[in-house]
Structure 1
Amino acid sequence: MIPIARACVCDDYFTVDPATGQLCLKPGTMGLRGILYYGTPGTYQFRKGDYPWLARVRVIVQGGGGGSAGADADAGECIARPGGSGGGWSSSLIEASALGVSETIVVGAGGAGGVGNNSGNSGDASSFGGFAIAPGGAGGTATMVSGTTPDTASGVVGPAGGTGDDTSGGGFGHGAIRLSGTKGLSGAGGDSRLGHGGGGRASEGGGTVTRGRGGGAGGSLSYGGAVSGSQGGDGLVIVELYG
């Protein structure tokens, strides 16, 4: 006589369909099943009906960083600009039952750099519906005027935390200093949770670029030539899908 094999199944994670006898995973116990990345600035739609097994989502939202100001000093003089501030960050865990049929996703662009002696633009906010909102960073200012005497320009305040279960404000844009008509130092851009701001500079040139997502642009520095600010880092929205 051949014994009949018998399998025991943990009912914390599995269930048997009474109609078909099929062994199935219980909804909500499957863990992470996919990750969606939205990295190009713009507006998108998330539809939970595209994922029939969806139990919850975790969203991570990074706002765009601030751009830096341009600088155009007079011949033989100096202008140093501060960096833009980093964008804010937010995260939320959302049950599928709380989601609408469609939720709007916004990926904020980094703020454009200033041209001439004009301030940089602020970065745009990023969001997932009303559940997680991360503000953009402030643009670098253009307060220092052309000259040869020592002068400073204050740093740029980072945004406060936005909306979500866990939020974080963006890093401050660093201040700038002029020592003379031929020596100065521009300010570094503020960091974000998902990126680094552009560096400061002592040689003449435009604002420095960011790394990663949401950092503020580094400040520009002019010793008599016209230089432009740099764009802040674009934002990002990440959607983790749990079944």
Structure 2
Amino acid sequence: MVPIARACACDTYFTVDPTGELCLKPGTMGLRQTLYYGTGSHTFVKANYPWLSRIEVEVQAGGGGSAGANAAANEAIPRPGGAGGGYSKSLLAVSALGASVPITVGAGGTAGGATTEGGDGRPSSFGSLVIATGGSGGTNNMPSGTSLNTGQGIAGPGAGTGSFAVGGGASGSAIRLSGGYAMAGHGGDSFLGTGGLGRTTEGAGLTSRGYGAGAGGGLSFGGSVTGGVGGAGRVIVHLYG
């Protein structure tokens, strides 16, 4: 006689569907996939993931760009950095989602020209459920000169929308000691990035690292320099079965 195989399944994790197939129960499978969205507009479609039970959404806004400078000969102009973008996060049940959810990932602020301010970082969002605010661009708030002077850094943006929401980091102020010694402000940090370095040598504003942080300010000792570009935002969606 040939023995008949017999298998048992724990009903905490498994169920039998109407067709007789053994299936995992929704909500018991843990993390199954992570989606990463870069700058631009996207759409999350719930039906693409029929096993989905909940999602964790991380939203990082763009960081501010910084201003450039054009000091007169033998004079100096340092610029403050751009502010870091805000960050928000929420854990959402699949029932809280519509059939599709629009996603916006904010770009980093543009680099200012020799006489213009840095651009603001753009906000990022997952529908109306999770939103983060972009960081403001660095100003061109110091004239050319040789005397001691400072340029105020940029305040970070406030918290957006989400179960956990924080504003971005403020940028560093610029300081001029003389026509030959000065320091540009560093870019503001973000939750997912580090602001650009505050330079002490002439040149364009320095870029950030990671996502959503502000650019460091430009510094001129008589030459024409541009600012730096702020860090782009990011939206990350963790899918749980």
TM over 0.5: yes
Aligned AA for 2:8? Answer: C
Aligned AA for 2:32? Answer: R
Three-state SS of the structure 2 residue aligned to 1:97 is helix
* Unmatched 5+ stretches in structure 1: none
Distance between the aligned counterparts of 1:201 and 1:23, measured in 2?
62
Shift of residue 9, structure 1, vs aligned partner: 2.1
Aligned AA for 2:105? Answer: V
Runs of 4 or more above 3 Å deviation: 1-8
1:178-193 alignment, distance < 5 Å: 178-193=176-191
Distance between the aligned counterparts of 2:176 and 2:90, measured in 1?
43
1:165-180 alignment, distance < 5 Å: 165-180=163-178
Shift of residue 188, structure 1, vs aligned partner: 0.6
Kindly report the root-mean-square deviation, in angstroms, between the aligned alpha carbons of the 2 structures.
1.2
1:122 corresponds to: 120
Q: Give the one of 202, 224, 228 matched to 2:222.
A: 224
2:201 corresponds to: 203
Aligned AA for 1:86? Answer: G
Distance between the aligned counterparts of 2:232 and 2:180, measured in 1?
33
1:21 corresponds to: 20
Distance between the aligned counterparts of 1:55 and 1:96, measured in 2?
5
Aligned AA for 1:63? Answer: A
Distance between the aligned counterparts of 2:123 and 2:140, measured in 1?
23
Identity rate, percent: 60
Shift of residue 224, structure 1, vs aligned partner: 0.8
Distance between the aligned counterparts of 1:20 and 1:71, measured in 2?
71
Q: TM-score, normalised by structure 2?
A: 0.96
2:152 corresponds to: 154
2:36 corresponds to: 37
Aligned residues between the structures: 241
Q: TM-score, normalised by structure 1?
A: 0.96
Distance between the aligned counterparts of 1:22 and 1:67, measured in 2?
56
Aligned AA for 2:14? Answer: F
1:65-87 deviation digits (Å, cap 9, x = unpaired)? 00001111111110010110100
Distance between the aligned counterparts of 2:213 and 2:10, measured in 1?
47
Distance between the aligned counterparts of 2:21 and 2:103, measured in 1?
37
Aligned AA for 2:191? Answer: R
Do residues 10 (structure 1) and 10 (structure 2) align? Answer: yes
